[in-house]
Amino acid sequence: MKWHIFIMTVLMVCSHSLLAQSDKVDMRVILLGTSGPEMSPDRSGYATLIEVGGKKLLFDAGRGVLQRLYESEVDIKKVTTVFLTHLHNDHIEGLASLWITPWFLLGRTEQMKIWGPVGTLKMRDGMRTMYGHDVQNRSDEHNKKESLDLKVIEIENPKENVCPKKGDPISLGQELYKEKDNTPAAHEIKVTAFPVCHADGNPAFGYSITYNNRKVVLSGDTTYSRNVVHHGMNADLIVHNVIATGKDFSHTPEMQIILGKLTTPEQAADVFKEAKPKMAVFSHIVKKGLPGAEGDKEIMKRTQETYKGPLEMGVDRMIIDIGSQVRVIKPKVISDLTDLDFKKHPDK
């Protein structure tokens, strides 16, 4: 081989591997459902999946979570690790279907494990009672009853003020989960819960997920929170709730209560300006009297009046890949998805 051809080949291989390195995805965040309790034609209940270090970590399980996992072509049997931000119904109402359907329909044998606030044990027991018929009667030699056992670890009630004002101590949070990935470097996957400010939803938590110098922070349901700012400082991604109302709604007494426990676009702008994440994305998008794309636009406009950094309006099945860059991938068309109708397809 002539020298110049050899050098060219080496250069090409090197630049290719450098490119591959810079394209490496350390964490993948899938917004499965981006709504609050509200119903709209294209948003499911709140749920976020984070794929990191070979693990699949699910944060909340709102209405439609199973359907959105299927539509996102995630291996549903492997979604067994769940973290709950709080026990409001819009964060747990998809949990039962995720617990039972993949067990008998798809043959999931791995038991689920759930972290959640005090009250999660009681919720788990209540759910088992509610689905008592299936637990008793669907289990057989093909679908073992013990696979339905569900381990719950309750997060301690916060001792500090969950809505810290200026001068109040910030919560360092509770480290819940620490696992090494199975690469030679053995990077650590760490999940930390920190208290947020959600009135009748308290105790409520936000989450910080770190891996290989990357950080994703989920605000959970909260009004402006200094804890979110602290944990979200320089994060690769902050996924934040937002609430906005149309003119007819904003002054009613009930709406004042609701506005007081979630984050307005202006408050979200303050969080992002202070924390300076590489990317900010809205999910748990609560709109009252601001339907559709116009409502979304209004939220973006109000936020961007003062916050000029990278910002996305979340939509269901949006993917955010985090590596040296943060890349937002719009949901793909799913009209050709194969049915998931049995444990293993007979022709496979």
Identity at 298, one-letter amino acid code? E
Q: To the nearest 10°, report the CA torsion of 271, 209, 80, 197.
A: -30
> Interaction with Zn ion in 152-191: which residues (CB under 5 A)?
none
Q: Tell me how far apart the alpha carbons of residues 16 and 120 are, in angstroms, rounded to a whole number.
A: 49
Residue 134 contacts Zn ion per CB under 5 A: no
Residue 116 contacts Zn ion per CB under 5 A: no
Residue 88 contacts Zn ion per CB under 5 A: yes
What is the maximum alpha-carbon separation in the chain?
A: 81
Residue 90 contacts Zn ion per CB under 5 A: yes
Binding Zn ion by CB under 5 A: which of 34, 35, 36, 215? Answer: 36
Of residues 221 and 321, the one with the C-beta less far from Zn ion: 221
Of residues 205 and 211, the one with the C-beta less far from Zn ion: 205
Query: Least distance to Zn ion from the beta carbon of 90, Å?
Result: 4
What is the token pair recorded at 324? 């040296």
Per-position x/- string for 39-78, each x denoting binding to Zn ion as judged by CB under 5 A, each - no binding: ----------------------------------------
**Binding range to Zn ion, per CB under 5 A, among 13-21, 103-111, 121-129, 219-227:** 219-227
Of residues 176 and 258, the one with the C-beta less far from Zn ion: 258
Residues counted in the chain: 348
Side-chain-side CA neighbours of 347 within 13 Å: the count stands at 2
Q: Is 244 helix (H, G, I), strand (E, B) or coil?
A: strand
The partner residues of 318 in beta bridges, in order of sequence, read 31
b (16+ CB within 10 A) / e for 265-274:
bebbbbbbee
Q: Tell me how far apart the alpha carbons of residues 158 and 81 are, in angstroms, rounded to a whole number.
A: 22
Residue 221 contacts Zn ion per CB under 5 A: yes
Query: Least distance to Zn ion from the beta carbon of 284, Å?
Result: 6
Q: What are phi and psi of 41, to 5 degrees?
A: -65, -25
**Binding range to Zn ion, per CB under 5 A, among 64-72, 150-158, 193-201, 335-343:** 193-201
Q: Tell me how far apart the alpha carbons of residues 317 and 68 are, in angstroms, rounded to a whole number.
A: 7
Of residues 201 and 314, the one with the C-beta less far from Zn ion: 201
Count of residues of this chain found to bind Zn ion when the rule CB under 5 A is applied: 5
Q: Which residues contact 234 (CB under 8 A, 6 or more apart)?
A: 215, 275, 276, 277
**Which sign does the torsion angle of CA 194, 98, 236, 177 carry?**
positive
Query: Least distance to Zn ion from the beta carbon of 16, Å?
Result: 45
Of residues 26 and 90, the one with the C-beta less far from Zn ion: 90
**Binding range to Zn ion, per CB under 5 A, among 18-26, 81-89, 156-164, 222-230:** 81-89
Tell me if the bond preceding 37 is cis, omega within 30° of 0.
no
Of residues 87 and 152, the one with the C-beta less far from Zn ion: 87
Q: Is 63 helix (H, G, I), strand (E, B) or coil?
A: coil
Binding Zn ion by CB under 5 A: which of 201, 206, 265, 277? Answer: 201
Residues in touch with Zn ion (CB under 5 A): 36, 88, 90, 201, 221
